[in-house]
Structures are given as structure tokens and as C-alpha cells.
């Protein structure tokens, strides 16, 4: 499974940030042709086939990837640094959403809000536990609560990715509060 984790990380790099690393292009909606993707990955010395790719997609804990209906194309569900139209529709978010980050970023967030930081969207979770796991990747974690209901009423769009992550272009500071029950 360790090899699958490495392949999944490489797949994430390709489908979210650098398809040129294996000589492919994504279409405007982020889809990569499976045959080209497999050939490009294998040309780097990694061994992957359709079955392995399907296993990576099925077992990825964060459900980062999706196939099209006939499994001839694949894309990342969110997290792109490339300008990709994921064909998401504006949705009504739950009243509160959560964001996990490192405590060292708190002062900046208080001043500037949450920005996508090289991605297309700010990623928000529907529960504090998921946000805490994300925050742990960045250092000593904090959990931020976002008043998504008020944001939405004030005209800020929210989108729900295929894997259940809420996305928005920016979260202004006045909609954010630090949760007391941080890890």
C-alpha cells in the first residue's frame, strides 16, 4: 500500500498542479485521458495500470479523484492550482463550516481572512474533526469556525466538491472565529 500512497501523491501533483510533469494536458474541466495518463506515469519508471489506478481512486481516504462515466478520463475533485472549471454549482452551505490550520497563521487570518493560497478555493469541512486533521498537517493546529450562513446571505458563493469538501473563493475575517476546543 506504500507504493499506492506514493502513486496517489504523484497523481495529485499531476492532476492538480503539474500535468506537464508527465507530458499531458488537462482539459478545461480538469479531466485527463486515462491512456495518456498511464503512459506518462509509466514513462517516469513508475508502474501503474488501469486496475491500480482504480484501486487508488477507490481507496483514497480523502476521495481526491473521480472517473468519468466510462472510466476513460480522471480528474482531481478539488485543490487545483491550475485554472480549472470543475463545473460546480453554487449551493446553500450548512450554517457553519470549519477550517483547520496552524496556530502560526492565526494573526494573518484575523487581518486578511482565509485566502486560497495558490489554489482556486478555500477548503472548508462540515465538521471540526475533519478540520482538525487538516490543521495537524501544518503544525500546531487550530480550528476555525466560519459563519457560512451569513457569508452566503451576503452573496459569497459556496460549492460542494464531489468528495464533500465545501469550497469558496475567500472567507473574509469578519466571518471567522477561533474555536476554543482546539487540539
CA 162/CA 149 separation, integer angstroms:
21
Cβ count within 10 A of residue 20? 11
Angle at 77 between CA 24 and CA 126, to 5 degrees: 160
Domains and CATH numbers, the chain: 2-76 (1.10.10.970), 97-178 (3.20.170.30)
Contact predicate 59/4, CB 8 Å = yes
According to the model, what pLDDT value does residue 2 have?
A: 57
pTM of this prediction exceeds 0.75: no
DSSP string across 57-97:
HHH-TT--EEE-TTSSEEEESS--SS-----PPB-PPPS-E
CA 158/CA 148 separation, integer angstroms:
8
Angstrom distances, CA of residue 58 to CA of 51, 96, 113, 182: 10, 29, 34, 31
DSSP conformational letter for 120: S
Q: What is the pLDDT of residues 113-149, one digit of tens each?
A: 999 988 889 999 999 998 988 888 878 889 999 999 9
Q: What is the pLDDT of residues 9-42, one digit of tens each?
A: 899 999 999 999 999 999 999 999 999 999 999 9
**Cβ-based burial of 138 (10 A; exposed 0-12, middle 13-18, buried ≥19):** middle
Amino acid at each position: 500500500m506504500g507504493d499506492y500512497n506514493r502513486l496517489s501523491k504523484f497523481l495529485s501533483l499531476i492532476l492538480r498542479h503539474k500535468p506537464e510533469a508527465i507530458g499531458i494536458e488537462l482539459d478545461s474541466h480538469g479531466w485527463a485521458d486515462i491512456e495518456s495518463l498511464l503512459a506518462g506515469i509509466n514513462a517516469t519508471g513508475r508502474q501503474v495500470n488501469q486496475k491500480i489506478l482504480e484501486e487508488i481512486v477507490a481507496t483514497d481516504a480523502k476521495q481526491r479523484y473521480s472517473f468519468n462515466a466510462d472510466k476513460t478520463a480522471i480528474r482531481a475533485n478539488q485543490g487545483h492550482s491550475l485554472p480549472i472549471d470543475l463545473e460546480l454549482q453554487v449551493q446553500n452551505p450548512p450554517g457553519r463550516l470549519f477550517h483547520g490550520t496552524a496556530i502560526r497563521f492565526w494573526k494573518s487570518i484575523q487581518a486578511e481572512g482565509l485566502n486560497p493560497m495558490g489554489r482556486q478555493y478555500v477548503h472548508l469541512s462540515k465538521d471540526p474533526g475533519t478540520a482538525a486533521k487538516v490543521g495537524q498537517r501544518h503544525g500546531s493546529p487550530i480550528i476555525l469556525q466560519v459563519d457560512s450562513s451569513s457569508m452566503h446571505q451576503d452573496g459569497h458563493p459556496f460549492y460542494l466538491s464531489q468528495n464533500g469538501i465545501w469550497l469558496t473563493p475567500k472567507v473574509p475575517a469578519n466571518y471567522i472565529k477561533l474555536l476554543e476546543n482546539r487540539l
